[in-house]
Amino acid sequence: MYGDAVRVEYLDVSEPAVQAEYADLISQVEEHRLPYPLVAINGQVRLAGGAEYYRIMPLVEEAGATYSVSRR
């Protein structure tokens, strides 16, 4: 739908490699007691505690991604 304009990535913070790479983010999450899952758009955490389509899509579009529908 968005082609190369959107990348979806899942990070499991229980994995040691992820904990090492994202130590600062994880400490901020713990400090502010944010619930998982987190949704980040362009490197900024925008949602905490849920990853529902209807909440994510407006943020993706606000970030400038546009989609096109191909008709066959």
- Domain-located, residue 69: no
Work out how many domains the chain is built from and give that number. 1
- Domain-located, residue 42: yes
54 vs 69, higher pLDDT? 54
Classify 29 as helix, strand or coil: helix
Determine if the pTM surpasses 0.75: no
Is 56 in contact with 47 (CB distance < 8 Å)?
Answer: yes
| The pair of three-digit structure tokens given for residue 44, joined into one six-digit string | 């900024």
The pLDDT of residue 70 is above 60 = no
Is 19 in contact with 13 (CB distance < 8 Å)?
Answer: yes
Give Cα separations from 9 to 3, 23, 34, 40, 43 (angstroms): 15, 17, 19, 10, 12
| The pair of three-digit structure tokens given for residue 21, joined into one six-digit string | 């790479």
Range of the domain at 8: 3-62
- Domain-located, residue 71: no
- Domain-located, residue 8: yes
- Domain-located, residue 34: yes
